[in-house]
Amino acid sequence: MSVTGQPPTTEQTLDQLQRAAFSYFLQAVNPANGLVADTSRDNAPASIGVVGFALSAYPVAVGRGWMTRADAVERSLTTLRFFRDSDQSGSPEATGYKGFYYHFLDMQTGVRMWRSELSMIDTAMLIAGALTAASYFKAETREEIELREIVDALYRRIDWSWTLDGKATIRLGWKPECGFLNYGWDGYNEAMVLYVLALGSPTHPIAGDNFEAWTATYQWENLYGYDFLYAGPLFVHQFSHAWIDFRGIQDRFMRDKRCDYFENSRRATEVQRQYARRNPHGFAGYGESCWGVTACDGPSQQEPELADEPRRLFGYAARGVPYGPDDGTLSGWAAVASLPFAPDIVLRTASVMLDRYPENLSDQQYASSFNPTLARADRAWVSAGHFGLDQGIVLLMIENHRTQLIWQLTRNCRPIRTGLSRAGFRGGWLQRRAPNKHHANGHAQ
């Protein structure tokens, strides 16, 4: 990839990055059940959130000619049938409970791994992917009809209201050993897609008051000269946007602030740049065109060769700006995932980061993270392998930048429209009636 002189990343480069990201889902899938590994590392379990990205990736691949429609439908059906038929008893070795699924599953058997939690947000990403597939595969064929019926059944059986546990806001997770996890999950975070899907449910919805209770924990801040809804890690400003087009639609909070969540994510991009320019900890590499502080893998202090590092290092952690944690670790994929919000800035940033740190890419896929401060022999520390969530967000956000395909599909998705409406969103595309026919055979330009 030639980026000498750092011209903005080209359309051709984007295509390469996007296709490489998609190849992760071909490499890391178990074709027998559709489960996709959390990472490319040995013995990695499946992650249900990554499966959600896979279900969204197949329509992109069909549209771009990387996969036949029949293949995509078959892969999607295999996946959806697995979840339909999975053990929902909630036992420690089951796959799910009350329509939700454990975060990590055995790639072969699909049972719970690592004593993981029943994950509300990862289930939401899985269902968002399933709904994306159902919105794309609209043909009246036996397979596509079955696909849509399974998606509907999976969505309907989720007991979203149970996740409140009598509280005002959704709990983060649940374990059979101890019940709901006691983690605070307040403030603006990646849960928007979760709340929208929970509100849109025809069977077990949460109430608009629950959404309001969540937004009551928001912090609207003026930081580095930008007014924005604060959240430290960059992924928070991206993940729900992979599936939902927030351009021009506003809930009560955003109406009050005369902003929308899309514009907010653009400002979050600017805040990342400002932080990287200031670089308060003096880390190598940071600058206005080299940033991406987010949840990612990291050079944990546990690694023996880093034991002498004077600064505190983290493993997988939700890094954030401006208050940290920050150990000098950046994510190239996180910059790219802001492409729809600030294309000019991101294209140049991606180009600069790849030019300076080409080791950040292997097989054209972004590593989870790299740390230039911990360079050895002029090569930054780089997280081993690849992470499915990173590939998924790169794939979807490049697509949304190029064609808005995913956004077009979910605009016509009843649960998402209903959920947004119940959350108080108004204006923009929500005011326009959903068309009866969808762009099922190609890109929704």
C-alpha count within 13 angstroms, C-beta hemisphere, residue 313: 23
Which listed residue (324, 385, 424, 428) binds other proteins by CB under 8 A? 324
Q: How far is the CB of 111 from other proteins (least distance, A)?
A: 17
Q: Which is nearer to other proteins, 52 or 320 (CB)?
A: 320
Indicate the residue among 154 and 229 with the shorter CB distance to other proteins.
229
Of the candidates 370, 344, 237, the residue with the CA atom closest to the CA atom of residue 288: 344
Q: Tokens for 228?
A: 């924005």
By CB under 8 A, residue 175 contacts other proteins: yes
Residues 6+ apart with CB under 8 A from 426: 249, 250, 251, 255
If phi over 0 gives left and psi between -120 and 50 gives alpha, with beta otherwise, what is residue 180?
Answer: beta
- Write out the binding residues for other proteins, residues 232-291 only, by CB under 8 A: 232, 256-257, 278, 280
The distance of closest approach from Cβ of residue 23 to other proteins in the complex, given in angstroms and rounded to an integer, is: 37
Distance CA 239, CA 333 (A): 12
Q: For residue 438, how many C-alpha atoms fall within 13 Å in the half-sphere facing its CB?
A: 22
Single residue of 70, 145, 153, 216 touching other proteins by CB under 8 A: 216
Residue 220 makes contact with other proteins by CB under 8 A: yes
Q: Does 322 bind other proteins (CB under 8 A)?
A: yes
Interacting span for other proteins (CB under 8 A) from 76-84, 127-135, 212-220, 331-339: 212-220
**How far is Cα 383 from Cα 130, in angstroms, rounded to an integer?**
30
Nearest to 102 by CA among 119, 87, 88, 83: 119
**Residue 221 near other proteins by CB under 8 A:** yes
Question: Residue 433 carries which DSSP code?
Answer: P
Site residue total, other proteins (CB under 8 A): 33
- The stretch near other proteins (CB under 8 A) out of 153-161, 322-330, 378-386, 414-422 is 322-330
Q: Compute the least distance from the CB of residue 6 to other proteins, in Å.
A: 27
Applying CB under 8 A, among 74, 87, 227, 303 the residue interacting with other proteins is 227
Would you count residue 325 as binding other proteins (CB under 8 A)? yes
Query: What single-letter DSSP state applies at residue 400?
Result: H
The smaller minimum CB distance to other proteins, of residues 160 and 180, is found at 180
- Output the six-digit token pair for 238: 């991206």
Minimum distance, C-beta of residue 313 to other proteins, in the bound complex (Å): 10
CB of 269 to other proteins, least distance (A): 17
Strand segments, DSSP code E, in 218-310 are: 220-223, 226-229, 295-296
114 is a site residue for other proteins (CB under 8 A): no
Amino acid at position 423, single letter: A
Site string for other proteins, 180-209 (x = CB under 8 A): -xxxx-xx----------------------
- To other proteins, the closest distance from the beta carbon of 316 in angstroms equals 16
Query: What would the two tokens of residue 157 be?
Result: 């059986």
Piece of 32-40, 59-67, 317-325, 393-401 that binds other proteins (CB under 8 A): 317-325
Give the residue among 294, 376, 308 at the shortest CA–CA distance from 336.
294
Nearer to other proteins, 179 or 358 (CB): 179
Q: How far apart are CA 445 and CA 439, in angstroms?
A: 9
Using the rule CB under 8 A, give the single segment among 61-69, 173-181, 352-360, 378-386 that binds other proteins: 173-181
Torsion-angle region of residue 282: left (phi > 0), alpha (psi -120 to 50) or beta?
A: left
Of positions 6, 217, 362, 404, contacts other proteins by CB under 8 A: 217
**How is 174-239 classified by DSSP, letter by letter?**
EETTTEE------SS-TTHHHHHHHHH-SSS---HHHHHHHHTT--EEEETTEEEE--SSGGGGTH
Q: Rule CB under 8 A: is residue 1 a binding residue for other proteins? A: no
With contacts defined by CB under 8 A, name the span among 154-162, 177-185, 233-241, 386-394 that binds other proteins. 177-185
Q: Report the interface residues with other proteins, using CB under 8 A.
A: 115, 175, 177-178, 181-184, 186-187, 216-225, 227, 230, 232, 256-257, 278, 280, 312, 320, 322-325
